[in-house]
Each structure stands twice: as structure tokens, then as C-alpha cells.
């Protein structure tokens, strides 16, 4: 991967390593401005900023980064060139006038034919001045975010954080066992088996022994899954034609296939497929069918649910039906609707894996795509039947299995599964498939996805203000306890820097009446947000020996921090 920055403000080679960081840390300085009445007939005066005059000038630059993805990757980048309005449009465009001024200055009641009718019902609309933003306050969740707790939380919920942390850990995971794997394979490196090798080599589905590895691409630095088929000798180069067709399909219900190649790096003739990597995903077989150890709760064993809820069954059915619709519309067949090849990548979130593998392994120039598509319906029904009966042998005794399904689930689901697994009758089609599913259940799935998107948006909103606190604490770390600056060993404890030191103790080093440390996250968040906003609220700072007591405002402390950090920034740029 090659990165070519084009920033005119790039520091020179002789600059310190922290020189470029100072501009980034200082960039998003939020300074609430006092409002000025903008009523009609009053002259507007510029608002006074609370930022000190010694603060460094804020610079803006557009940094473009180019990545070398190689010849096999084709991405369409959005043009980020600043938009320039044509001269002819600018000449015709009227000057911008705030809506409040348009109401007070340009409105003429004589020109309004409905003024005499509406005047009796509506009085003169008051003009409300815009108040400064309260940057030191956290907003509560919005009402439409129904999955967010009602109380205000400045951080994302624990379950979402744990999920993301586990995925991040899985991406960075390495193996301490030496599997004698090649250091590099095509453009991939750092190969790690993601499944026990003894289990993955069993050729149950593809009739060829295979094993999956997690690897990092040297082109973009992203993790991918390499599924290797051992001892496979490719007889027709035309078999790779299907790879390009599958690579063009980008669908949320399919695991994207990127490329395939042959290699002898493992000491034999192997065929390798490259798929997207979904960390901590598991197959439907592992999630619902494979026996698990009983969970312990309150000292007692808790058995697993005997069968899946019907809402979950319909959710899986809608997602898999849509994935099949996309594949069939491209004149392709999934051919991998199996319990071990459908991945559960999130809560009720399924994706069909290993699409296109059969097209290469069992390549036949005269293959019947329509026949394979009809087999997709049969495999689809068999998958739902096995999930409903919680057994991989459900298809061996259809009458007994369908009787069990009719007892556990609604007649609609029973008829849907029966339609899929029945080989007799006219050829099945997608229209009839979605007719059995019903538009109501498709809309239910859409509503669930929309609610989940609102929930994630609420999680992001809760983390919106936290980046500012990191930049603020970074400035405090640069200033506090600095051993020496400008040949002054006591620089960090003299002048305005002494106020910053006392404020640091006030925020982080408080103790109670018994001398025990006070660990209160709410106090830290409130103080740092008030400091970042520079409010006029005053606070009393006491020295450690209790001989000095200063009463200053958050505005004064912020000014002292900006001045001290500006001195450090100018010194680092020399």
C-alpha cells in the first residue's frame, strides 16, 4: 500500500515528531459566541470570541490519500474537488438574507391576499434570537431511537462495545502454534487458521478437503478469508469466468467473493478462494444445531431453547430469499444453502458463504443454470426444515418432520417449507416464493432493520462529544509536569501554568473527608466539558499544601491552556 499525502502544510523534515500533531490537536476548538440581536432596524455587531489572541491560527487543508489496490481491484472514488459555482449562476443568485430579516424587512401585508383572513387567528410571530450552543452538555437520546435507554449515557452500551471489541480482537488475533504455513501467499501474508484443521478438512459439502485461513492483504491492509482446497488440479481456465461474475455482486446477504487462484506454496496443487472476513461469525449449524454445554445460571443448568422463535425463522427466510433473488437475477445459482455455509454475522443477520466455489470445482461448460436454481429452492426448504426441527436428519423422514413443524409453527410457515421441499409441480419462481412469505413479513424485517439502524445511530451520537475530551486531555498532558521548557525547569508550575496544575488536581486528584480518593467519572466529564466550552462558571482551586486558594472561571483556565499550548506549538515548529 502506498500513501501519497498532498498537504501544503506538511511540516519540514527538521520539525519534531509532535509538530504535526499540535495542529491536529488544536484544530477543533469550540468557542461559543455571544449572540447579537438581529431584529429589523438594528445594526449587527460582531460577536466577541473567548479564545486568546495568542492562540495559533486555525488552518484548513485538503489532504488526499491514494491507495494502490492493484489491477484486480476497481473502485469508483467520489470527486472531492471543491465545487465552484459558475459565474452566470452567481450573477443571478440573490444575496442571502436570514429568514428572520426576510420576515421583518421584505414582507408586505398589502401584497398578501390572505392577510385579512389570517390576522384574526395568528398574532405577530415573535423573533427568537439564536442562543449559543451548550457544548458542555450531553444531549439525551432522540425520541425515535426506541432501542436506546431513556437515561442519558455519554458512552455506548456495554453489549455494543463488547461486540465491537471482540471483533477487533478477532481481527488482530494471531496463533502461537507453528502450522508451517507460507509467509506469503499471492498478495496475502500473516496466515492464521480460523478453524481446527482436523475438522475443516472433512469434505462433507464440497467433496474436497478444505481449510480456511485469515490473512492480511498487502494491497489494502485489510483481513480476508482464504479458503484453500487441497490437492485440486484446475483443468479449465474458463472455470475462473464465474469468479468475475460473483465479484460484481455486492449484496448484504452474500459474503463477497473477491478472487481465486491456484498455488503450490503449500507443497501441493491447491485452489484458493478469497472472501470477505466477518469476525466472530459462526454458521447456522454451530449457532443452533450443534449441541452446547448447558449454561449455568443461579447455580442451575439452563437448557437451550428447544426451537427457534417463528419471528427468527421468518427473518432468516426473508434474508435468504433476497440473497437468492439477487443471484438468480444475475443468471447464477447459490448452490451453498447449507447449515454449515450460511453464516450468522450478527443478531439475526445471515449471509450465504462460499458462493461461486461449486462453479469452479464442478466446472462444466454445458451446465444447466436453471436446474441449479431449482435446487436452490430445495436446499432452501431443507435448511428451514432442519432449523425448525433442530436436527440435520430432518429431511430423511419428511412426514414426521413436517408434523413436528406444524405443531411448533404457524400454518403459513408450514406451507412455505412444504412448497420449497416438494419436487413435484411446476418450476418454482421468485414471485411465488415471496407470495408465500408475504409483504407483511418483508415489511416486518424492514422495520427491524430500521430500528436497529436507529439504535446504532444513537450509539454513535452518545460518542459524539468524547473525541473533544481526548484532544483536551492531550493538551493537559503536554503542559502538566513538563520537566523543562525554554530553559526554565519550573515552567509548568509558574504563571498561568500553575492554574492548570491546580485544575488538574481539582479534576483528577480529589479526596473525601477521610482522605480516600474520589473516583467519579461524572465529575471528570462535567469539568472537562465546561472547560472545553469555556463557560463563565467559577471554581475554587486549592494547592496541595492548602496555602494557596484561587477562584477562577473555566473561561480563564481555557485561556491559560490555549496560551501554554500555543507556546509549545511554536517551539516545536522552529
Read off the C-alpha cell for 77: 472514488
pLDDT number for residue 26: 47
Low-confidence winner among 236-245, 254-263, 486-495 (lowest mean pLDDT): 486-495
pLDDT number for residue 300: 55
CA separation for the pair 188, 5 (Å, rounded): 25
572 and 19 Cβ atoms separated by less than 8 Å: yes
Low-confidence winner among 135-149, 152-166, 388-402, 479-493 (lowest mean pLDDT): 135-149
Q: Binding residue per annotation — 144?
A: no
pLDDT number for residue 312: 95
pLDDT number for residue 216: 95
**Share above pLDDT 70 across residues of the chain, in percent, rounded to a whole number:** 69
Q: What domains does the chain contain, in order, with CATH numbers?
A: 184-289+307-437 (1.10.510.10), 480-572 (1.10.287.3700)
Q: Which residues, including other chains, have CB under 8 Å from residue 352's CB and lie 6 or more apart?
A: 253, 254, 255, 320, 323, 334, 336, 337, 341, 342, 343
pLDDT number for residue 235: 86
Q: Binding residue per annotation — 341?
A: yes
CA separation for the pair 26, 58 (Å, rounded): 8
CA 370 to chain centre: 38
> Which regions of 124-176 does DSSP assign to beta strands (E)?
none
Q: Is the pLDDT of residue 134 over 60?
A: no
pLDDT number for residue 468: 78
CA separation for the pair 104, 39 (Å, rounded): 8
Q: Which residues, including other chains, have CB under 8 Å from residue 570's CB and lie 6 or more apart?
A: 56
CA separation for the pair 463, 459 (Å, rounded): 7
Q: Binding residue per annotation — 335?
A: no
Q: Binding residue per annotation — 279?
A: yes
pLDDT number for residue 328: 97
Helix/strand/coil for 295 = strand
Helix/strand/coil for 419 = helix
* Integer CA distances (angstroms), 494 to 237, 477, 564, in order: 76, 16, 11
pLDDT number for residue 131: 52
Tell the burial category of 213 from Cβ atoms under 10 Å away from its Cβ (0-12, 13-18, 19+). buried
Query: CA angle at residue 133 from 130 to 139, to 5 degrees?
Result: 120
Note the pLDDT tens digit of each residue in 93-122: 444 444 444 444 455 555 555 545 544 444
Tell the burial category of 185 from Cβ atoms under 10 Å away from its Cβ (0-12, 13-18, 19+). buried
* Integer CA distances (angstroms), 257 to 121, 214, 356, in order: 64, 14, 8
Low-confidence winner among 373-377, 402-406, 518-522 (lowest mean pLDDT): 518-522
pLDDT number for residue 480: 85
Read off the C-alpha cell for 225: 478469508
Note the pLDDT tens digit of each residue in 34-48: 444 444 334 443 443
413 and 310 Cβ atoms separated by less than 8 Å: yes
CA separation for the pair 137, 441 (Å, rounded): 41
How does strand 257-263 pair with strand 295-297? unpaired
Q: Binding residue per annotation — 283?
A: yes
Q: Is the pLDDT of residue 4 over 70?
A: no
Q: Binding residue per annotation — 158?
A: no
How does strand 538-542 pair with strand 549-553? antiparallel
Q: Is the pLDDT of residue 521 over 90?
A: no
pLDDT number for residue 76: 39
Q: Binding residue per annotation — 340?
A: yes
Q: Which residues, including other chains, have CB under 8 Å from residue 406's CB and lie 6 or more apart?
A: 414
Q: Which residues, including other chains, have CB under 8 Å from residue 248's CB and lie 6 or more apart?
A: 330
Q: Binding residue per annotation — 553?
A: no
Q: Which of 18-27, 92-101, 156-165, 553-562 has the highest mean pLDDT?
A: 553-562
DSSP-assigned letters across all residues of 196-247: -HHHHT--SSSSS-EEEEEEEETTT--EEEEEEETT-----GGGGHHHHHHH
Q: What is the mean pLDDT of residues 138-153?
A: 53
The rounded mean pLDDT for the chain is 77
166, containing H or E segment: helix 158-172
Q: Binding residue per annotation — 90?
A: no
Q: Is the pLDDT of residue 539 over 80?
A: yes
Q: What is the mean pLDDT of residues 226-231?
A: 93
Note the pLDDT tens digit of each residue in 407-452: 999 999 999 999 999 998 899 999 999 999 999 999 999 999 998 8
Q: Binding residue per annotation — 282?
A: yes
Q: What is the pTM of this model?
A: 0.65
The DSSP output letter for 17 is: T
Note the pLDDT tens digit of each residue in 380-412: 999 999 999 999 999 999 999 999 999 999 999
Note the pLDDT tens digit of each residue in 11-27: 444 443 334 444 444 44
149 and 141 Cβ atoms separated by less than 8 Å: yes
CA separation for the pair 520, 269 (Å, rounded): 61
More confident residue, 88 or 337: 337
pLDDT number for residue 24: 47
* Integer CA distances (angstroms), 36 to 106, 536, 564, in order: 21, 18, 31
pLDDT number for residue 338: 93
Read off the C-alpha cell for 51: 479564545
Q: Binding residue per annotation — 281?
A: yes
pLDDT number for residue 314: 97
Amino acid at each position: 500500500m502506498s500513501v501519497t499525502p498532498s498537504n501544503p502544510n506538511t511540516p519540514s523534515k527538521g520539525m519534531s515528531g509532535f509538530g504535526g500533531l499540535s495542529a491536529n490537536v488544536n484544530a477543533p476548538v469550540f468557542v461559543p459566541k455571544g449572540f447579537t440581536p438581529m431584529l429589523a432596524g438594528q445594526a449587527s455587531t460582531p460577536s466577541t470570541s473567548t479564545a486568546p489572541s495568542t492562540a495559533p491560527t486555525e488552518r484548513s487543508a485538503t489532504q488526499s490519500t491514494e491507495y494502490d489496490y492493484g489491477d484486480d481491484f476497481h473502485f469508483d472514488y467520489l470527486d472531492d474537488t471543491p465545487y465552484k459555482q459558475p459565474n452566470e449562476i452567481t450573477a443571478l443568485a440573490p444575496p442571502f438574507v436570514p429568514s428572520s430579516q426576510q420576515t421583518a424587512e421584505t414582507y408586505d401585508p398589502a401584497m398578501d391576499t390572505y392577510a385579512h383572513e389570517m390576522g384574526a387567528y395568528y398574532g405577530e410571530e415573535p423573533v427568537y434570537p439564536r442562543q449559543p450552543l451548550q457544548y458542555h452538555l450531553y444531549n439525551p437520546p432522540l425520541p425515535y431511537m426506541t432501542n436506546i435507554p431513556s437515561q442519558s449515557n455519554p458512552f455506548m452500551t456495554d453489549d455494543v462495545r463488547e461486540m465491537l471489541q471482540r471483533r477487533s480482537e478477532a481481527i488482530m488475533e494471531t496463533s502461537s502454534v507453528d502450522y508451517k504455513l507460507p509467509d506469503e501467499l499471492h498478495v496475502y501474508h500473516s496466515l492464521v487458521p480460523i478453524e481446527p484443521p482436523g475438522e475443516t478438512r472433512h469434505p462433507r459439502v464440497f467433496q474436497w478437503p478444505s481449510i480456511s485461513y485469515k490473512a492480511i492483504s498487502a494491497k489494502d491492509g485489510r483481513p480476508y478469508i482464504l479458503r484453500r482446497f487441497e490437492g485440486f488440479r484446475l483443468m479449465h481456465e474458463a472455470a475462473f469466468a464465474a469468479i468475475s461474475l460473483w465479484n460484481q455482486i455486492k449484496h448484504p446477504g452474500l459474503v463477497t467473493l473477491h478472487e481465486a487462484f491456484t498455488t503450490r506454496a503449500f507443497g501441493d496443487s491447491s485452489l484458493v478462494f478469497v472472501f470477505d472476513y466477518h469476525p466472530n461469525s459462526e454458521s447456522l449449524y454451530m449457532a443452533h444445531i450443534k449441541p452446547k454445554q448447558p449454561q449455568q445460571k443461579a447455580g442451575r443448568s439452563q437448557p437451550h431453547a428447544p426451537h427457534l422463535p417463528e419471528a427468527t425463522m421468518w427473518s432468516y427466510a426473508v434474508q435468504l430469499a433476497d440473497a437468492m433473488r439477487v443471484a438468480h437475477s444475475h443468471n447464477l445459482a447459490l448452490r451453498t444453502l447449507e447449515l454449515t455455509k450460511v453464516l450468522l454475522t450478527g443478531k439475526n443477520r445471515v449471509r450465504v458463504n462460499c458462493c461461486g466455489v461449486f462453479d469452479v470445482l464442478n466446472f462444466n461448460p454445458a451446465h444447466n443454470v436453471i436446474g441449479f436454481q431449482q435446487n436452490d429452492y430445495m436446499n432452501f426448504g431443507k435448511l428451514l426444515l432442519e432449523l425448525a426441527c433442530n436436527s440435520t436428519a430432518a429431511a430423511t423422514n419428511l412426514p414426521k418432520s413436517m408434523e413436528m413443524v406444524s405443531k411448533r409453527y404457524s400454518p403459513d410457515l408450514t406451507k412455505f417449507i412444504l412448497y420449497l421441499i416438494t419436487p413435484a409441480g411446476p418450476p418454482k419462481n421468485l414471485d411465488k416464493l415471496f407470495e408465500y412469505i408475504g409483504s407483511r413479513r418483508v415489511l416486518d424485517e424492514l422495520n427491524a432493520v430500521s430500528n436497529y439502524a436507529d439504535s446504532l445511530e444513537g450509539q454513535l451520537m452518545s460518542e459524539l462529544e468524547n473525541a473533544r475530551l481526548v484532544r483536551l486531555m492531550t493538551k493537559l498532558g503536554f503542559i502538566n509536569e513538563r520537566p523543562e521548557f525554554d530553559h526554565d525547569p519550573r515552567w509548568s508550575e509558574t504563571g498561568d501554568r500553575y492554574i492548570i496544575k491546580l485544575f488538574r488536581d481539582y479534576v483528577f486528584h480529589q479526596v473525601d473527608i477521610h482522605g480516600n480518593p474520589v473516583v467519579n467519572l461524572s465529575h471528570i466529564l462535567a469539568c472537562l466539558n465546561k472547560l472545553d466550552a469555556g463557560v463563565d462558571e467559577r471554581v475554587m482551586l486549592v494547592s496541595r499544601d492548602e496555602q494557596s486558594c484561587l477562584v477562577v472561571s473555566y473561561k480563564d483556565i481555557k485561556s491559560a491552556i490555549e496560551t501554554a499550548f500555543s507556546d509549545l506549538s511554536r517551539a516545536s515548529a522552529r
